[in-house]
Structure 1
Amino acid sequence: MTHGFDTLQIHGGARPDPATGARQTPIYQTTAYVFRDADHAAALFNLQEVGYIYSRLTNPTVAALQERVATLEGGAGAVCCSSGHAAQIMALFPLMAPGRNVVVSTRLYGGTITQFSQTFKRFGWSARFVDFDDTAAVEAAIDEDTRAVFCESIANPGGYITDLDAIAAIADKAGLPLIVDNTSATPYLCRPIEHGATLVVHSLTKYMTGNGTVTGGAIVDSGKFDWSASDKFPSLSEPEPAYHGLKFHETFGPLAFTFHGIAIGLRDLGMTLNPQAAHYTMLGIETLSLRMQKHVENATRVASWLETHPAVESVTYAGLPSSPWHDRVAKICPKGAGGLFTVALKGGYEACMTLVDSLEIFSHVANLGDTRSLVIHSASTTHRQLTEEQQVAAGAAPNVVRISIGTEDAEDLIADLDQALTKAGG
């Protein structure tokens, strides 16, 4: 039987606890698990049997969350980890090697741009930043050393929507996996695998948990990529020395990437999600569709109001008919353009700082996707490490503030913005 999204967000991955009958998934706050006997332990360590060994690798609470996220995204499997940044490292880890590159969108979260442009160099990896609206440039950036294509479905901070189908076609033609960060959209608004994505990554910290309590990340594997079609992905197609020559793709098929993420990624990188954080995230996901509907409804009303304000130069929300990406909403995010956008003020940098300091309901924090409305001046915070040219390319120019619309009363949010814009010189 095929179930709807609202049913799956509650029941996916969750079953009554076999030991106690507990209906809510328990927090399995344990480091290790007792083996039945010596043969059982050997089989687990040799990947001949699936089970629990040590909570750096697997944990029943985390496993339930992994199943739920994979189900909502329409993937074959998922690996959860400690943050969205950890998810990005873990997604690329089996694919990359020194001298290899990844082709990425210029419209990315500032921390991701820094991670890709600076930290990746320490691994011998490189990132090639391209405007993903220029499909010819994306295609031209791919060479023999490219191992993945990376973008965000709804880009942070501007709410830009990527034409995933067009980018997937380019990646597919090149025999490369498309990795899509679906944090800002969530699987309720966008399901990248249906648009050709190979892997989907999340910062579970944001909308998926939805209440600003924990950090977490996830990598969802579509299970559809042929890792053995070329010699580009030896970690998945060739013998693995640590497991007596086992070939992950040959052995695990559609779950090859998922098993590699646990058996190699979590084993050696150790970016483990703790079970209490997994529990909070599962609770958050139970109301995901309800929250996202409200985020979209509020964002549409607030963005429409802001667009008419005399102090406002422009609003980037893709849900507005004036947005250059408005036509992508129906195709990529049919249930709405999300709750994230930026506002450019005519008063420039100083007006942005005054606005941020004058808001009362909005919280000034470096986060998004909360039930609370949030605001930040990206150029002086999350995108501070970037050059002004990079800031502008990422949608975080000095005269821009990022707004994450929460689930409060929209009229209260508008009133708060109105009084703050007046103080900011509007």
Structure 2
Amino acid sequence: MDVETAVAEAFREEWGQVVATLIRITGDWDLAEECAQEAFALALRTWPRDGVPDRPGAWLTTAARNRATDRLRRDAVGAAKLREAALVPDHPALGPAPGPGPDDSGVTDDRLRLIFTCCHPALATEAQVALALRTLAGLSTAEIARAFLVPEATMSQRLVRVKRKIRHARIPYRVPPAHLLPERTAAVLGVLYLTFNEGYSASTGPDLLRPDLAAEALRLARVLAQLMPDEPEALGLLALMLLQHARRATRVDADGVLVPLEEQDRRRWDTTAITEGTRVLEAALRRHRPGPYQIQAAIAACHAIAADASDTDWPQIAGLYGELRKHVPSAIVELNRAIAVGMADGPAAALALLDALPLEGYHLLPATRADFLRRQGRYAEAALWYEKARDLAGTEAERTYLTRRISEVVSVAGDAVRRVGAARPPEEHP
């Protein structure tokens, strides 16, 4: 493995842990991000000479921590913070670095603590989720803006404001005691779900999948479900992640190009994850408090238990999306409901629903319209909508898939025109 690839892999796997550790130690979010970035830059300079370390995460954490030590030592305010935090390695006079240690919740996972800190009720919900995606997942401001369907400048301002509020309000870095967990549950679940989604279907970049990020979100969802065993939505989210992650090996082909659900080789789905996901979902539903994550998990289960795409219970899925929109009245939910209705009742039903959706700039809307036009045999129109979707798509995997679709429908449309021309009687000339 070359060094650039090793650093990129370390970034995907270790960014959240490095930043979370530095936030715990310094209490300064901007400093933590800046020193983490400097550590990765240092890796690019030194690993070609010294070799990739056996434990890249530990190397990066130490390097970032040392950068923080140097930065804090250069000013008087930082010196006071430094004495209080007892920062670390390569500075023997300061003593050993403090370990994570439990808080009132008993949770020692820095990344889960980071999520709960981001999700303090004093912060706006969208700001909570955006900050967690930035610090935990290392997503760029542009990637987060795409996830929220807002301009990059708007998202940048939100991130600045929420960090400032955490600093001024002195929001503690911890998992709150059990009696305070419910007030943060919705936001924490939202952070984990969006983090998983970015790993399951990346918003930008060359690859559709970021399996390391999806796996990290899944790991944290397990920890959360253990922390809140009587919260059905925590179980529902874990079930949803398991059922979707079970399809990861079939979502792209050997060239990294998107493979639609109906064309995936279901024999390669992870049956262990499907079995566990179904069991966790059943445990959640037994609590008789349905919520959006349980409903989405039920939708995922409908796909997971269908032996073949033709066996999918689309009417049930359409009904579940109808229930989901009561909890989450969003255009994205309506788009997915339109797909289910179209698969159950035919393309015309879907196209009628798509006309009313306000999703300008979201590539899956024209892609969906194109797909149902193709199913209707309206190939020339489908090609135009596939082109629009391709121009809006954020990943190379999706653009390549849409380009293939364009070629297919253009070819079929050309054949249809030629057949019509061959069948037409010759024109009579005076």
- How high is the TM-score relative to the length of structure 1? 0.28
Question: If each structure's strand is expressed as a fraction of its own residues, which one has the higher value?
Answer: 1
Q: Name the one with the larger helix percent.
A: 2
Relative contact order (alpha carbons < 8 A, sep ≥ 6): 1 or 2 greater? 1
When Rg is computed on C-alpha atoms for both structures, the one with the higher figure is: 2
Normalized against structure 2, the TM-score is what? 0.28
